């Protein structure tokens, strides 16, 4: 599907969608808790739908009523391959959860997930007594529990998702678990994981993000839980306000552990007018200038930051390029290629992405099957000088199905 976005002035209010990162974790943990939980404001992203499907296959009874899930937890061996769609979090999280069962479970996926590296899953679970095999570093993954526990070592330099899975599964190991972690990136995502575990009754001792201790025998307890708004999706519309008018985004917690709330810092560095209130964030257009930003712990911000930097006077430098290689696309190369098509010069120098702000022209770009690329090019086009046609725009459904509808409420000028 193609979408056309024309230069437009934006003005209005949107409600941030549910955080898929929080929702996926909450659904998984509630499905492990014996008893009935209700999860509110889960959203309708593809990744959340995948988590629901996988948990049902693992034996949880899940009733969907509008934006609420009623989950009767308790896991059992699935009768089929667990299809994780294109969700990297789901496959890494549910691989660990499946290891708490006492027979073989196979996990696979589709699209870009089939090419994403899974070796860290095999290594980490294998160190805790799980039989685990992968296909030359890729999906499918075959998991054969039980999870024995003990000491595990995790390399956190590529993704924190493997650690998230191990943390969530560890209370169900046969013995206490100690996880040693080196070079952990995206620390805020681990905070989300441990906060959710605590909310459902399990404690984790975090020793400076280098070591995690989890006592065996703890069990998740059912509860009601409301999923907070998504800073990752909201970041695009906050940028839209900075470059093209005025945008108010509701349903955002300034106290959130989500990594991407630091978009507020980047907007301030660039010179945007940012106002933070109890129940919403408002951003207004202003003269923008290049800025320096470290996105090592928040790599999902690279696409909206590039959209912002494209309309800043001068040069912007964003640190953390290596965190982009294993996403839905090679996001570093994709941003260089697609923004280059519409007149923005981007260079990669080691860990730095250097964007020179300029005049954005119209043209045809591709999402490369990456939801954040589709959203970034759409937002950047608002302050350009010609229409941008986005091929593969339907991929926004992975995280933000209503993205173009929300854009329409602010502009009423896209096709």
Active site residues: 300
* Residue given tokens 């992968």 in the structure block: 134
CA angle 386, 382, 242 (to 5 degrees): 145
Alpha carbons 159 and 186: distance in angstroms, whole number: 7
Which pair of tokens denotes residue 392? 């593969």
Closest-CA residue to 69 (of 44, 46, 97, 94): 44
Pick from 265, 280, 269, 333: which is nearest to 303 by CA?
333
Task: Find out whether 238 and 281 touch, Cβ atoms under 8 Å.
Answer: yes
Write the CA distances from 293 to 13, 187, 229, 263, integer angstroms.
27, 17, 24, 10
Helix and strand totals (H; E) in the chain: 12, 23
Burial level of 317, CB count in 10 A (0-12/13-18/19+)? middle
| Cβ neighbours, 10 Å, residue 265 | 13
């Amino acid at each position: 599907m193609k979408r056309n976005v024309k230069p437009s002035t934006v003005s209005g209010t949107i409600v941030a969608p549910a955080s898929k990162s929080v929702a996926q974790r909450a659904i998984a943990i509630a499905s492990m808790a014996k008893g009935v939980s209700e999860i509110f404001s889960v959203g309708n992203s593809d990744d959340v739908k995948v988590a629901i499907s996988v948990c049902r296959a693992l034996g949880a009874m899940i009733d969907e009523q509008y934006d609420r899930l009623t989950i009767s937890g308790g896991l059992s061996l699935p009768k089929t391959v667990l299809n994780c769609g294109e969700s990297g979090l789901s496959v890494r999280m549910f691989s660990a959860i499946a290891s708490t069962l006492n027979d073989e479970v196979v996990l696979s996926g589709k699209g870009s997930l089939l090419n994403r590296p899974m070796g860290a899953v095999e290594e980490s679970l294998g160190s805790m007594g799980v039989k685990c095999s992968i296909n030359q570093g890729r999906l499918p993954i075959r998991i054969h529990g039980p999870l024995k526990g003990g000491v595990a070592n995790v390399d956190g330099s590529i993704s924190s998702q493997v650690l998230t899975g191990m943390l969530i599964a560890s209370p169900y190991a046969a013995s206490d678990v100690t996880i040693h972690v080196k070079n952990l990136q995206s620390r805020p995502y681990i905070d989300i994981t441990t906060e959710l575990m605590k909310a459902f009754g399990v404690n984790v001792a975090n020793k400076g993000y280098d070591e995690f201790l989890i006592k065996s025998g703890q069990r998740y307890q059912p509860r009601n839980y409301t999923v907070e708004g998504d800073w990752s999706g909201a970041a695009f519309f906050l940028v839209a306000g900075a470059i093209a008018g005025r945008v108010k985004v509701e349903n955002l917690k300034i106290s959130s552990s989500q990594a991407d709330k630091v978009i507020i810092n980047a907007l301030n560095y660039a010179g945007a007018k940012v106002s933070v209130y109890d129940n919403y964030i408002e951003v207004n257009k202003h003269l923008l200038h290049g800025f320096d930003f470290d996105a090592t712990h928040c790599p999902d911000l690279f696409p909206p930051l590039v959209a912002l930097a494209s309309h800043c006077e001068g040069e912007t430098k964003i640190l953390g390029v290596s965190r982009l290689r294993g996403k839905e696309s090679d996001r570093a190369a994709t941003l260089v290629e697609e923004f280059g098509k519409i007149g923005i010069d981007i260079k990669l120098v080691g860990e730095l992405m250097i964007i020179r702000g300029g005049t954005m022209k119209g043209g045809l770009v591709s999402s490369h099957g990456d939801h954040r690329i589709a959203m970034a090019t759409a937002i950047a086009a608002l302050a350009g000088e010609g229409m941008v046609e986005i091929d593969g725009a339907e991929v926004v459904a992975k995280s933000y199905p209503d993205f173009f509808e929300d854009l329409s409420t602010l502009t009423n000028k896209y096709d």
